[in-house]
Amino acid sequence: MNNIFDLAIVGAGPAGLMTAKTAAELGLKVTVIEMKQDIKKIKRACSAQFVMDEGYENESVKIQDNKIFFTKSGFDITYTGRSLNIIDNYHHSPRGHKIHLAHPDHRPFAVKFDKGQLLQDLWEDCEKCGVELRLETIAYGGEDMGEHVRIDVKKHENSYSINTRKLVIAEGANAKLTGVFGLNEGRVLFGTPYVVSYTIEGTTGFEPQSWNQFYGSEYHPFAEVMVESSIYGNDTIELTIMGNKDLPPDEIFENLVKNSPMSKHFSNAHVIDKKGCSLKSYASLKKPYSGNVLAIGDSAAHVEVLVQGAFMCGYHAATAIKNELIGKNGFEQYTCWWNQAFDFNRADALELVKLYGSLAMRPKYSDEELDYMFSLLEGEVLNGDFSQFEVPKKVWKAILAHKTQIQSERPILFNKIKNIDELNREGKLN
Ligand SMILES: Cc1cc2nc3c(=O)[nH]c(=O)nc-3n(C[C@H](O)[C@H](O)[C@H](O)COP(=O)(O)OP(=O)(O)OC[C@H]3O[C@@H](n4cnc5c(N)ncnc54)[C@H](O)[C@@H]3O)c2cc1C
């Protein structure tokens, strides 16, 4: 067959581009299919920060001299854009009590970056290795023919097919093509929240270099609201709000800036950018491949692998493809790595996410109960981590250090947190 690629990749996000670069460096003939017109234009909501916790998702990321080093996997990526160190992590109760996490030496637990520039830098490296990029092209179907894979694509009104020995699906969280190739069969869908992230200039009163979560009914009826410092200056923030089809994020946003305890910070502010997404929250794929097709990054994840995780997936996927093409079982090797690397692939982690959610979900705790629990930790600084799995453990352990007091002062509240106390006693919060 003429014109067959070694590897076709659907999606020029961080997972797809990293696969393309690494596979091309390994000598493969690679094409990337991307529906956007411009890969550096980011439309989906993304806070764009690297998690700097040692050992996070079995990796440790270091940033130095325009390079991002993945020290365990042994690769690096060029990044020439702006960055901002995030050093304080605050959880705010309805009446302003704060739980504060930070490293004692003020080193950053997260580093914000410009995602568009990061993808542009990565694409330039792909181009140097001879990767072909098909922009404004949607992959909508296809079939694994055994010897090769056929992918059906459409650019404007023009439909055609591409033949490839192996296919990597790196289409992100909505995982449509993943379904077309049969990988979503039996996969649980937990829900499809809407998320909108507003970049707002001219704000006052938010801590610089910080990540904040605001809890309670005056901010949001059922979830926390996130406020992050921005790479665009101290008077600019990113405000991220989750909603659903009955309560869209824009409605919550209007209330926040006009009627909530944080509205005073917005008197002279205006929105300079808005990004959104609907987020299919699938269970992760424990076996992310079938035949000649491998799903990586958010397409195979429970919600998200983050940008750094997407790079890791891309790097390991390319090696897997190379091995598959020389007759080794690369997809099985990838699957072992995938299941060990990510917290959401370890059963207990999902349990902990549920517990963390239960701190945010106001119907479970009243505003008064949130104020009470947060006030117990006022003035303390918990040792900073940023992982969505480590932070809840730390916060709950710190609250439970006041267990006897809670039991005697708030017996009803204590009853609500009894299951978390049990986890603590079983050592699962360590
Ligand atoms: C609210 C929010 C906050 C976040 N905050 C952070 C954060 O702070 N730090 C962090 O690292 N990550 C964050 N993330 C997660 C991060 O954005 C993702 O985990 C990461 O981008 C996943 O990379 P990916 O390459 O797997 O998918 P994506 O980045 O989604 O890329 C998929 C690409 O595929 C293309 N595509 C999709 N379908 C097709 C098709 N059929 N044909 C052709 N092209 C297609 C898309 O246009 C896109 O370019 C956040 C996400 C959300 C929603």
Residue 418 has pLDDT above 80, yes or no: yes
Kindly tell me if the per-residue pLDDT of 303 is higher than 90. Answer: no
Contact 144, 181 (CB under 8 A): yes
Cα-to-centroid distance, 369 and ligand 1 (Å):
36
Q: From the CB of 298, is ligand 1 less than 6 Å away? A: yes
CA distances from residue 412 to 315, 330, 401 in whole angstroms, order as listed: 50, 53, 18
pTM score: 0.95
Q: Per the structure block, which two tokens stand in for 106?
A: 């003020």
| Nearest alpha-carbon partner for 224 in 199, 246, 192, 256 | 256
Phi, psi of 354, deg, nearest 5:
-60, -40
Helix (H) or strand (E) holding 251: helix 249-259
CA–CA separation, 207 vs 91, rounded Å? 12
Reply yes or no on whether the pLDDT at 181 is more than 70. yes
**Percentage above 70 pLDDT, the chain:** 96
CA distance 395 to 227: 19
| 205-252 tens-digit pLDDT | 999 999 999 999 999 998 899 999 999 998 999 999 999 989 999 999
Q: Tens digit of pLDDT for each residue in 251-272?
A: 999 999 999 999 999 999 999 9
Between CA 13 and CA 10 the distance in angstroms is 9
Per-residue pLDDT band for 354 (boundaries 50, 70, 90) equals low
Q: What share of the chain is helix, strand, coil (3-state, %, to 5)?
A: 35, 30, 40
Ligand 1 contact, 305 CB (< 6 A): yes
| pLDDT tens per residue across span 183-200 | 999 999 988 889 999 999
Give yes or no for a contact between 206 and 265, defined as CB atoms under 8 angstroms apart.
Answer: yes
- 114: CA distance to ligand 1 center in Å? 14
Closest atom of ligand 1 to CA, residue 305? 19
Tell which atom from ligand 1 comes closest to the C-alpha of 17.
Answer: 25
Q: Are the C-beta atoms of residues 411 and 387 closer than 8 Å to each other? A: no
Domains of the chain: 5-48+114-188+284-344 (3.50.50.60), 193-278 (3.30.70), 348-425 (no CATH)
**Cα separation values, 317 from 14, 132, 255, Å:** 12, 18, 44
Query: Structure tokens of 28?
Result: 């493969």
Q: What pLDDT does 167 receive? A: 98
Atom of ligand 1 nearest to the CA of 36: 47
Q: What is the pLDDT of residue 185?
A: 96
pLDDT given at position 426: 82
DSSP type of residue 298? G
Averaged confidence pLDDT in the chain: 93
The answer, yes or no, to whether any atom of ligand 1 lies below 6 A from the CB of 85, is no
Mean pLDDT score, 300-329: 97
CA of 101 to the centre of ligand 1 (A): 27
Tell me how many helices (H) and strands (E) the chain has: 12, 24
Which phi and psi angles does 128 have, rounded to 5°? Answer: -60, -30
- Distance set, CA 378 to CA 93, 225, 228, 368, 374 (Å): 11, 20, 21, 15, 7
Query: What does the DSSP 8-state code read for residue 400?
Result: H
Query: Is ligand 1 within 6 A of the CB of residue 388?
Result: no
What's the average model confidence in pLDDT over 281-289? Answer: 95
Is the shortest distance between the CB of 277 and ligand 1 below 6 Å?
yes
Question: What is the rounded distance in angstroms from the CA atom of residue 306 to the CA atom of residue 160?
Answer: 32
Tell me the pLDDT band of 2, cut-offs 50, 70 and 90: low
* Confidence band for 357, pLDDT divided at 50, 70 and 90: low
Share of the chain above pLDDT 90, in %: 83
List, for residues 41-64, the tens digit of each pLDDT value: 998 999 999 999 999 999 999 999
Ligand 1 pocket test target in 109, 168, 298, 312 with most atoms within 8 Å of CB? 298
Please check the confidence at residue 348 and state whether its pLDDT lies above 80.
no
Question: What b/e string do you get for 258-289 counting C-beta neighbours within 10 Å, with b at 16 or more?
Answer: eebebeebbeebeeeebbbbebbebbbbeebb
In this structure, what token pair is assigned to residue 170? 């790196």
C-alpha 235: how far from chain center: 25
For ligand 1, whether the C-beta of 48 sits within 6 Å is: yes
Sign of CA dihedral 76, 81, 85, 90: negative
List, in sequence order, every beta strand (DSSP E) within 231-290: 233-243, 270-278, 281-282, 289-290
Range scoring the smallest mean pLDDT among 76-90, 128-142, 181-195, 381-395: 381-395
353, pLDDT greater than 80: no
- Asked if residue 30 has pLDDT above 70, the reply is yes
State if residue 139 touches ligand 1 by the CB under 6 angstroms criterion. Answer: yes
Q: What is the pLDDT of residue 226?
A: 96
**Å from CA of 360 to ligand 1 middle:** 24
Residue identifier of the C-alpha nearest atom 17 of ligand 1? 46
CA 192 / ligand 1 centre spacing (Å): 15
Q: Does residue 284's CB lie within 6 angstroms of at least one atom of ligand 1?
A: no
Atom of ligand 1 nearest to the CA of 14: 25
Nearest Cα to Cα of residue 344 among 190, 195, 153, 123 = 190
Tokens 């938010």 belong to residue: 206
Residue whose token pair is 């890969």? 39
